[in-house]
Structure 1
Amino acid sequence: MDSYDVLVIGGGPAGYVAAIRAAQLGFKTACVDAFERNGKASLGGTCLNVGCIPSKAMLDSSEKFEMITHEAAEHGIQVSGASVDVAKMLARKAGVVDKLTGGVAYLFKKNKITSFFGYGKLLRQDGEEWVVDAAGTEVKARHVIVATGSNPRALPLAPFGGHVVENSGALEFTAVPQQLGVIGAGVIGLELGSVWRRLGAQVTVLEALPGFLMAADDGLAKEALKQFQKQGLDFHFGVNITKVEQDDSGVSVTYTEKDAEVTARFDKLIVSIGRVPNTNGLGADAVGLALDERGFVKVDGHYRTNLPNVYAIGDVIGGAMLAHKAEEEGVALAEMIAGQAGHVNYDVIPWVIYTSPEIAWAGLSEKQAKEKGLTVKTGQFPFSANGRALGHGDPRGFVKVVADAQSDRILGVHMIGSGVSELIGEVVAIMEFGGSAEDLARTVHAHPTLSEVVKEAALATDKRSLHM
């Protein structure tokens, strides 16, 4: 029976990064993963295979089509007869995924990580080691990391299948649906709805919550809703889904809104109402691995479960279900196992929604800071006053900085606009080191760049913006 220092169950962002870092630290490492795409093993989990990466490829393709058909004329570029080849678009997306998942396989080989294709199951302890069923082969491991991720949450009234799809199905439509329904106005629903809206679908978004992006800063959410409605997305909030029926040609959804019953007809229905932890086949009950009431693996501040030398990271432990959060947990845990001081600062993890305009934030909103009893000052600056944004032809949105009124420490930053997924990293770095709005304001930013809006927002916390 082969023996390993570290065995990781799950090959998504949490798992494959943990495996790579463990191998870098000198541990004999293995990873067992059951993800399959097109009939073959494919490392990278949901993110690389059917989530983050393919959705961004489709978003980019649809944005280019939107630019050609609706925005090019403003730049003096006349285009006629533009059309969408969905099959080619999907093939391009698949090529991007193949390159990245193949890259993970290469990194495993480079770092001498043994890879097993199939499910991993905890069987029993054998002295200081665990015996694990790694895809049908029993192996031993001194340390076991559970990184099995999460699965889409199904709506009880509308199980996945046929015309009712989750995120992966929404990335495989072979034609643009004329009428597309989206249940859930969260990150996935907004991104996938945006893809097909740009390509020609009429998109209706049904959300159970009474408001839009309620986890984001109020001003950010208000601006985002205005921009999406201008694009033609039809939002309904506070709805209660009462019936979902599908036939060969589509889906009928009945819901109540403001005490009125409505039935809407869609060609396709995307259900995007969150995700649930994946502990399928892990053997949690048999070995006594503790789960909480929602099915997440219970861990302490060092990712230790109730079982000796068994750890868990990523979506399966809850918290922010973000690939970059999962990756950082993988690095931190591998370093902790090696006796180093691994650490993740959860207070400054960035959130990004890759719509157009993009949305990004990190830290506290103004409302959250005040609820904590903090005295705050804020600064906001619009992209409409930025030369680079005007040159791009996309002056939508703004950057808002929330700082402590006494110490000037940055508490949060909130952005909506072109390219803010890249701009957020600068402020996160400053927040990681406890930096102030003055630190950000005194940092020289190249001109002309979109990043100058970040500087101006920091200046605005002290009412000294230079270009407003």
Structure 2
Amino acid sequence: MAGYDVVIIGGGPGGYNAAIRAGQLGLKAACVEKRGTLGGTCLNVGCMPSKALLHASELFAAAGTEFKTLGIEVQPKLNLPQMMKQKDESVAALTKGIEFLFKKNKVDWIRGAGRIAGQGKVEVTGDDGQVTTLEAANIVIATGSEPTPLPGVTIDQKRIVDSTGALALPEVPKRLLVIGAGIIGLELGSVWRRLGSEVTVVEFLDRITPGMDGETGKAFQRALTKQGMTFKLSSKVTGAKVGKAGVAVTVEPVAGGEAETIEADYVLVAIGRRPYTEGLGLESVGVSPDARGFIETDHFRTSAQGIWAIGDVIHGPMLAHKAEEDAVACIETIAGKVGHVDYNLVPSVVYTAPEVAWVGQTEEQLKAAGRAYKAGKFPFTANSRAKINHETEGFAKVLADAATDEILGVHIIGPQAAEMIGEYCVAMAFRAASEDIARTCHPHPTRSEAGRQAAMGVEGWTMQA
């Protein structure tokens, strides 16, 4: 038996940050993680390895096209095993980094699968089958999410893969079929597209990336189509049959009509993620997830005394950085401080080329809410740095309240969009007006000036376009 102030189940971005913050605040903390390494999906088979492949494949594509324009004559040759090796080495270094942070903040990493065994008790089953019981004043559920399966399509991680399998394909597929035009499907689809695959994306809805601002989404689809991706929208996959050399996928229009069969070497199922709440012993404390598996919380408190939940298992954006914010707010509340997260200020990013990043409201949301707004938009074609770097696709768009000028939403498609969106998260946290950005000096020449020019555009005084 070991007594803790807080035991966290799950060592992903929510769990490990909760553990570190607990340690910083002087709480006796343990983090239970069944994977052999810390970092959860994000570090091991999600955000980090996918960014490693996105970066490498972008450079490979640039070497084959862009370099020539810049006066660099090379003939790139793909070494896929090395590309995968450097990805794995980067991931290993990051997971080791979290182990170091645990030691630094006096957090115990308990290896094994955690399960709540009544109030204040967590049972941990180790790899050897041995069960240890931990006693905790507070238990935080941070078990994250897993890929949503698709009925009629069995993932074997050989020919039909989920996001984990798509990060470690043994060869470049001649033809890759991606089911789902969300962020994960498009990021991984673009990796293999750049390395030489013919990529077809099948999406149930009539648009890609649901949740993205409509105008931005259309520009994004045009950009990906130009790169060679094929989209089948308003279409559903009804079956997938694995043969000797590939997969035969049956696709039908959502509105009804004739089915067609698409042949592919590999199929990536990326129709979203679902909370990982099964087998956690929630019933032992009377907590019941909803029909979709989410745990209902009020400021991270579940309906059971001393049981908390954060990250992908609760409502809100299913993003690593949101889980991190939840973690800090939850632990600070446990420690008697005040913790709060504004989900409207959690940015979203698609790490393709061009990148897409946004925060706050879309035009569609503002119209639906009947909110009067003004929009300022600036194209990267008119941005000096983007022009010099031959990366002029896309634009920055700032939406502000028509009466007060408060920034309500910002949408950027273009180079380094992910790095630029942070400025607006800060601005919106202080309830800044678009004029505050428009009258703040930005360095020249930088891509960030596009965001400033868009802000000027809200009041109609964009100067560079």
Task: Give the shorter-chain TM-score range.
Answer: over 0.9
Question: Once the 2 structures are TM-superposed, how far is the Cα of residue 326 of structure 1 from its aligned partner?
Answer: 0.3
In the alignment, is the contact (CA less than 8 A) between 1:445 and 1:451 conserved in 2? yes
Match of 2:29 in 1: 29
Greater Cα offset, 212-221 or 176-185: 212-221
- Counterparts of 1:441 and 1:117 in 2: how far apart (Å)? 51
Runs of 4+ in 1 over 6 A off after TM superposition: none
Question: Once the 2 structures are TM-superposed, how far is the Cα of residue 212 of structure 1 from its aligned partner?
Answer: 2.1
Match of 2:39 in 1: 44
In the alignment, is the contact (CA less than 8 A) between 1:51 and 1:168 conserved in 2? yes
Equivalences, count: 457
SS of match in other structure, 1:205: strand
Match of 1:60 in 2: 55
Counterpart AA for 1:113: V
1:54-83 Cα shifts (integer Å, max 9, x gaps): 000000000000000011111111112x21
Question: Once the 2 structures are TM-superposed, how far is the Cα of residue 286 of structure 1 from its aligned partner?
Answer: 3.2
Question: Once the 2 structures are TM-superposed, how far is the Cα of residue 94 of structure 1 from its aligned partner?
Answer: 0.2
Question: Once the 2 structures are TM-superposed, how far is the Cα of residue 242 of structure 1 from its aligned partner?
Answer: 2.0
1:206-236 Cα shifts (integer Å, max 9, x gaps): 0011122231111101110110000000000
In the alignment, is the contact (CA less than 8 A) between 1:20 and 1:111 conserved in 2? yes
Q: What is the TM-score with the length of structure 2 in the denominator? A: 0.97
Structure 1 segment 92-131 matched on structure 2, within 5 A: 92-125=86-119, 130-131=120-121
- Counterparts of 1:16 and 1:422 in 2: how far apart (Å)? 24
List runs of 5+ in structure 2 lacking aligned partners. 126-130
Match of 1:147 in 2: 142
Structure 1 segment 181-192 matched on structure 2, within 5 A: 181-192=177-188
- 2:262 aligned with 1:268, yes or no? no
- Counterparts of 2:72 and 2:161 in 1: how far apart (Å)? 38
Greater Cα offset, 242-251 or 184-193: 242-251
Question: 1:79 is matched with which residue: 66, 71, 74?
Answer: 74
Match of 1:289 in 2: 287
Match of 1:7 in 2: 7
1:322-357 Cα shifts (integer Å, max 9, x gaps): 000000000001111111111111111100000000
Question: Once the 2 structures are TM-superposed, how far is the Cα of residue 397 of structure 1 from its aligned partner?
Answer: 0.5
In the alignment, is the contact (CA less than 8 A) between 2:236 and 2:252 conserved in 1? yes
In the alignment, is the contact (CA less than 8 A) between 2:277 and 2:289 conserved in 1? no
Match of 1:368 in 2: 365
Match of 1:220 in 2: 216
Match of 1:314 in 2: 311
SS of match in other structure, 1:389: helix
- Counterparts of 2:311 and 2:456 in 1: how far apart (Å)? 37
Match of 2:128 in 1: none
- 2:189 aligned with 1:199, yes or no? no
- Counterparts of 2:405 and 2:13 in 1: how far apart (Å)? 35
Structure 1 segment 418-437 matched on structure 2, within 5 A: 418-437=415-434
- 2:122 aligned with 1:132, yes or no? yes
List runs of 5+ in structure 1 lacking aligned partners. 36-40
Determine what percentage of the aligned residue pairs are the same residue: 47
Structure 1 segment 153-172 matched on structure 2, within 5 A: 153-161=148-156, 162-172=158-168
Counterpart AA for 1:390: K
Structure 1 segment 365-444 matched on structure 2, within 5 A: 365-444=362-441
1:116-148 Cα shifts (integer Å, max 9, x gaps): 1111111123xxxx1211232111000000000
Match of 1:335 in 2: 332
- Counterparts of 1:241 and 1:397 in 2: how far apart (Å)? 31
- Counterparts of 1:106 and 1:166 in 2: how far apart (Å)? 30
